[in-house]
Structures are given as C-alpha cells and as structure tokens.
Amino acid sequence: MKDPRGLVTGAWLETHAPGDRLFVNIGGLLLESGERLENITIAYQSWGTLNERADNAILVNHAMTGWSDVPGWWPSMVGPGLPFDSDKYFIVCPNVIGGCQGSTGPSSIAPDGQRYGSRFPSVTIRDMVAAEIAFSDVIGINKYRLAVGPSLGGMRALEWAVSHPERVSAICTIGSSAVATGDQIGTSSIQIRAIKSDPNFFGGDYYDKSVGPIEGMGIARRIAHLTYRTEAEMDVRFGRELQGDDTGRFAVESYLDHQAEKLSHRFDANTYIALTEAMNSHDIGRGRGGVAAALSGISIPVIAVSIDTDRLFPVRLQAEIADLAPLAQELVTISSPFGHDGFLVEVELVGNVIKEALALSQSP
C-alpha cells in the first residue's frame, strides 16, 4: 500500500517521528444526507510501528473537542509501557471529518477556493466512520486490534462494531451510548442556539470577519462543561467563594470563563455545531430494526465503560450496550468524583480497562 506521496507504507512510517501530524487525502465520500464531500483531507498522528503483518494497530477515536494528538488530551495513555504501549502496538488517531484540526471541516477551503462555512454539509457518526474506513485503506490497515474512544469517540467505536466487524477485533466504548438521549439533545440544542445567536456568527460565514462568534461559543462551552463535571465537585471545589480579583465574580464563574477562553484558541464554532449535531444524530439502531436489534447483532468482543457520576452519559446507557451485545464483557463502572470528564482524570483505572480490552482482541 502506498501513501499519497508514493512511498511504501513501511518506508513512510520510518521517516516520521512518533506523534508527527500527517495528512492523507481519501478522495470523495457520499454522505448519509445524499450530499457528496470531495477531496477530503484527514489529519492524523501515530505512535509505535506497524508490524510486517499490519496486525498490531489500535484505532483511538477522539472525543468531541479532542483531536489527533492523543497525549495532548488523554495524558499518560500512549507511550512505551503505557496502556497504549507504543513498543507493542501501532496507535493511530485521525481527526474526524467536520473537525478543525487539519481534517476537512467547515473552516476548510472548498473546491471553489472559498471556505465552506455555512455550506459545509451535515455529517453523522456513520459518515465519520466511513471516512475512517477510507483513511485506514489509504494507510494500509485492513483490521485493527482494537477501536476505542470516549464520548463521541465511543459512538464511533460502536459504529465500527456494528457496520464493520470484519475490520476490528474488539472495541472499547467509554462514557458513551448507543443512542443520543432527549436530555443530551436538549442540552446540546441550547449550546448550538448560543453560538448561532452571537451577532458575529453571520450565518456561519464569519471567516472573513475581524471577529467570529467567540462569545456564543464561550457560552456553549460553559454550559457543556457543567454537564461534563458534577454538582458535588463544583460545590466542594468552588462553593460560593469569590474569585478575589475585584471583579465580583464567583470562583466558579472564573473557572468556566477559563474553560471557554481555552477552547476559543483552538476550536472553530462551525465545527462545534457540526460535531454536536452529529452526536445528536447518533442512533445505532436507525434503519437496523432498533437499538436492541443492532446491538444484538454485534459479533466481536465489546467492553463498555461507565463513570458512576457521569451526568451526560449516565451508567444506564453503557449498561444497555453491555447487556445487549452478545460478546460484551460485564459492564465496567469507574468510580470518580469528576463526572463525564472522569475518563480524562482517572487514567490509571481507564488504562487498566484498555489493557483488558487488548487482551480480549485477537490478531486479525
């Protein structure tokens, strides 16, 4: 298999350092909407070496505001001797289509030479996985030992198991679900409304403006971040304390302001909307006879992981996967005071589950 520059895969991998951000073109893709996205670029990063049999690859599916640099958002997980052991495995993480970290998304240049902006088509979880399949073909991976991901990444890992079981030996889905719930859609819709209500949104075509919808996206991020954490943590950590900077702000307000500010420097508002809407569209049973039918048809091992304080993806959602997938292991519930973000914080506990999932997987 050759990469877009004409180098054989082995030589190509040897010429790049672990973690380098690379780009491949996967051509065009017919989306579920019926629209076709052309000339798609996928940005990705990798660690370790793909062996001669190409059977030691792990696919990491990042969360919504994550990106291809796994150590950047999931610390202490990738490297020699770590759960994603780069001495044993070839770990690869592509940025999703619709993203803003190098893969084709709303801020990318369209074939007419202008940024897509409001013209970027709607993408679904299934579209993202179709792009990941095409990406895997380009870099020469026919089958992964494991597909794993949290939140949005878990949705994609589950879609791999349902639609492409021949391409992956096992999956691990963390803090995720088989279908988007009414509560999730409701919370997400408010975030989208906040962005679109920003006077600097300009219907999604703000790239040539001096200021974009930073305030609207900041509000969206503040709302989202509260769903990622827990009431108990916010009360214990901040309570009613004032920030102490003469602004009169509560400390928790300052904390949320900081989270919004951080995201504004690395994320695009249109991508925030596109990926949020993709998560809202998630229904593993759509067109497959329902969720139970889709899950019961999974033919590979599954490990579903929940966080006991997760408000956004409560335990019952992962329990559904563990109960209905025939080869699923017993539900793993991680105890954490950090809610949905527990998968980022409890790296030792999550890492142990990854090792268990890899032990379940078989070489292709």
Give the closest residue to 32 by CA, choosing from 360, 228, 282.
282
CA distance 33 to 307: 33
- Domain boundary pick from 264, 279, 294: 279
β-pair type (332-334, 302-307): parallel
> Residue 220: what pLDDT?
98
Q: Which of 62, 164, 225, 340 is catalytic?
A: 340
Exposure string over 300-331, b if 16+ CB within 10 A, otherwise e: bbbbbbbbebbbbbbbebbebbbebbeebbeb
Instruction: Please indicate, yes or no, whether residues 111 and 161 belong to a single structural domain of this protein.
Output: yes
Are the C-beta atoms of 275 and 188 separated by less than 8 Å? no
Are the C-beta atoms of 23 and 101 separated by less than 8 Å? no
- Domain boundary pick from 279, 308, 323: 279
| Residue 249, H or E segment | none
In a domain, 4, yes or no: no
CA distance 32 to 19: 32
> Residue 105: what pLDDT?
98
CA distance 8 to 1: 6
Active site residue 33: no
In a domain, 2, yes or no: no
> Residue 200: what pLDDT?
98
- Domain boundary pick from 279, 299, 329: 279
Active site residue 16: no
Residue 230 domain boundaries: 183-279
Indicate which CATH number applies to the domain containing 241.
1.10.1740.110
- Three-class DSSP category at 39: strand
> Residue 248: what pLDDT?
87
Instruction: Please indicate, yes or no, whether residues 212 and 299 belong to a single structural domain of this protein.
Output: no
The number of distinct structural domains making up the chain is: 2
In a domain, 3, yes or no: no
Exposure string over 78-111, b if 16+ CB within 10 A, otherwise e: bbeebbbbbebbbbbbbbbbbbbbbbbbbbbebe
> Residue 283: what pLDDT?
98
Q: What is the pLDDT of residues 135-177, one digit of tens each?
A: 999 999 999 999 999 999 999 999 999 999 999 999 999 999 9
> Residue 18: what pLDDT?
80
Active site residue 341: no
In this prediction, the residues of the chain whose per-residue pLDDT falls under 50 are 1-14, 363-364
Instruction: Please indicate, yes or no, whether residues 173 and 138 belong to a single structural domain of this protein.
Output: yes
Indicate which CATH number applies to the domain containing 151.
3.40.50.1820
Q: Which of 103, 107, 151, 361 is catalytic?
A: 151
Neighbours of 132 (CB within 10 A): 26
Whole-model pTM: value is 0.93
> Residue 2: what pLDDT?
33
Q: Which of 310, 336, 341, 361 is catalytic?
A: 310
> Residue 362: what pLDDT?
65
Instruction: Please indicate, yes or no, whether residues 250 and 293 belong to a single structural domain of this protein.
Output: no
